[in-house]
Amino acid sequence: MDKQTTSKKRVEWGFMIALLVIISLAFAVLIEPFFGAIVWGVVVAVLFRPVHDRLLSRFPDRANLCAVITLVLILLLVVVPTILLGMALAQEAASLYTRIENGDIDFGAAFAAFENSLPSWMQAQLAAYGYGDVASIRAEIEQSISAILEFLLAQLLSVGQGAFQFMLGLGVMLYLTFFLLRDGRGLTERIGEMIPLDETKRDILLERFLVVIRATIKGSLIIAIIQGGLGGLIFWALDIRGALLWAVLMGVFSLIPAIGTGFVWIPVALYLVVTGAVWQGIVLILCGVFLISMVDNVVRPILVGRDTRMPDYVVLISTLGGLQLFGINGIVIGPLVAALFIAIWSIFSEMHQVNGNREKLSG
């Protein structure tokens, strides 16, 4: 091949790469309004893929029917309960906000009772650090909790006010999920063909991706649902007001390793103890330590396995970064990107090690 032909080929490849980058960026801008719907469509499709495959094994020639049945299950098990939960959560958050504003819940009084139960030397230390003014503490605590509830209510009400946008996003998610279930294997094979690796490495890469995605989803969402649901049941059994709200908060905080569900149940347990509900507070502490907090250690290895578990500090940083960049969708996107990052570098390291061993043998 002469230099002119080589130069022409380089120009063609350069033009195609530039065109590919420009069109890809334009397409990303085009679908940006439905980014959340696309993310959750992929998440739900990956979670329910085993159900679809089991149906397909029984009805091998009815791919559309199997996808529709799986989609109906997703509606009944995920979408409808989520909508009902959001409606109930909005009502409960509004009720709790009203009680705090009306003074029915007095956190300052609880702090004063707690302070009076402390030894005199510890009370002096609190006063020295500026925590002796009960009135200012009451105002700060109530202002912080009110701000959290206002934010939560604003998010829930924005969904209701933007009902058309919500329904449109939900429709896109379900539509995409249907095709991902029905044509998922074909899409995976087509993507695999575009990866410039030999067949063995390509299969390992795709398999690792699927394992990491499934492990991340199970390790995050399912554990959060279990811990939040268990915590909510315990709060309800102890007749603690706002059990649904506390359950959702525990589910959210369980996604953050360094914080966890203890960020919710520990302050509530202390509040119960210092306000006179001693046995409820003690029961909540025992259930929090031996039931809620143990779910992660017991259930996660069963669902995920230890080999695919990421270090807690990676999950923490990626979750917080995802929340800051992508909002609520970052709960999944952050750890997923981190997991894929680790998987890619692991595969690259293995490939480099194999190549190094081959060079030594050939030398």
pTM beyond cutoff 0.85: no
> Is residue 262 located within the same domain as residue 288?
yes
Distance CA(36)–CA(255), nearest Å, equals 18
Residues 233, 145: one domain? no
Is 184 domain-assigned?
yes
Residue 321: what residue type?
G
Please check whether residue 11 lies inside any domain of the structure: no
- Residue 253 is assigned to a structural domain of this protein: yes
The predicted-structure confidence for 220-239, as pLDDT tens digits, reads as follows 778 888 888 899 999 999 88
Could you tell me if 218 and 142 lie in one domain?
no
CB burial class (10 A; 0-12, 13-18, 19+) of residue 259?
A: middle
Are residues 148 and 210 both part of a single domain? no
Note whether 80 and 151 are same-domain residues.
yes
- Whether 359 is covered by a domain: the verdict is no
Asked if residue 181 and residue 146 are part of one domain, the reply reads: yes
The residue behind tokens 């004063």 is: 112
**10 in a structural domain:** no
Residue 363 belongs to some domain of the structure:
no
Asked if residue 76 belongs to a domain, the reply is: yes
Q: How many domains does the chain have?
A: 2
**3-state class (DSSP) for residue 232:** helix
pLDDT tens digits, residue range 15-61?
A: 888 888 899 899 888 888 888 888 888 888 888 888 998 998 888 88
The residue from 175, 194, 213 where one domain ends is 194
Matching residue, tokens 């959290």:
148
Residue-number span of the structural domain to which 69 is assigned: 31-194
What are the tens digits of pLDDT across the range 105-137?
665 566 666 666 666 666 666 666 665 555 555
Closest by Cα among 243, 237, 253 to 89: 243
- Domain stops at, among 194, 217, 247: 194
- Picking from 174, 194, 214, the residue at the C-terminal end of a domain is 194
Q: Do 172 and 216 have their domain in common?
A: no
* pLDDT given for residue 260 in this prediction: 79
